[in-house]
Amino acid sequence: MQIRQIALSALLLAAACGSPDVAPVSTPAASIQSFTASPASIAAGETATLSPSYSDGTGTIDQGIGPIGNGASVLVAPTATKIYTLTVTDGMGNAVTRTASVTVAGTGAYPVAGVTASPPALTNQTTASFSFTSSKARSTFTCQLDTGTASACTSPRSYSGLAAGSHAFTVTATDQTGNVSAPAYVTWTIDLTPPAVTIATSPANPTNQTTASFSFSSSKPGSTFSCAATRVSSPEAMCSR
């Protein structure tokens, strides 16, 4: 009987005092202080740096980058505007995210090719040199002479041993994203035939005038002339024998 009273007293005492408090174990929640892209705007072919700052978790960046440590950085070179997402996951599996974007300027526009130096429209030179540019940095170029095969080229592009006649040079630019410009071209003519000069009027021969006037023309329009008057000291030397 005494044993039962002691057991009952113990149970009553435990009920009166309640169960002892158990302190929960807390896991710090992951947090992101910053996630930046520098510079935030680039041209095609350039790079930007992604820099995360976070605590109490492990970080990963999407777009194929993968794990990245707190305070680390990674270079990216997108060919088009892209948004990167940083995900930080704590020990309980809770995740927080933040995004950073890199804008690639002009990726939706086609480059513009231009010829900046070329032969004159009419020349007697059988060589030709061309300089050209693109409105987009780091573009590549394709050149074509007349109806020949187009091929990769760099500025300046020179040709030699050209035949007389009309010629055409064409260049296109391709940017880093594969956009191809409209062709830029120039035409010119190589003329290797000398002009024929005709003297239409001249002084009478012989004459007693001390002045002389001549009129002359060329078989080719736009010709320029060079003239010289030569005194013959022995007129008899001009006579046929």
d(CA 233, CA 226): 23
Tell whether the model's pLDDT for residue 194 goes beyond 50: yes
CB 107 within 8 A of CB 44: yes
| CA torsion through residues 202, 203, 204, 206, sign | negative
On the 0-12 / 13-18 / 19+ scale of CB atoms within 10 A, 145 is middle
What's the pLDDT at 92? Answer: 83
Going by C-beta distance under 8 Å and a sequence separation of 6 or more, which residues neighbour residue 83? 99, 100, 101
Tell whether the model's pLDDT for residue 41 goes beyond 80: yes
Tell whether the model's pLDDT for residue 74 goes beyond 80: yes
Tell whether the model's pLDDT for residue 113 goes beyond 60: yes
What's the pLDDT at 232? Answer: 67
Domains and CATH numbers, the chain: 31-105 (2.60.40.10), 113-190 (2.60.40.10)
pLDDT in tens, 146-181: 999 999 999 999 999 999 999 999 999 998 888 899
pTM of the predicted model as reported, rounded to 2 decimal places: 0.51
| CA torsion through residues 112, 183, 162, 194, sign | negative
What's the pLDDT at 177? Answer: 82
3-state SS class at 120? coil
Tell whether the model's pLDDT for residue 63 goes beyond 50: yes
What single letter denotes the amino acid at residue 47? T
Query: Residue 28's pLDDT band (boundaries 50, 70, 90)?
Result: confident
Percent of the chain's residues with pLDDT above 70: 83
Quote the mean pLDDT of the chain: 84
Residue the block writes with tokens 């947090």: 31
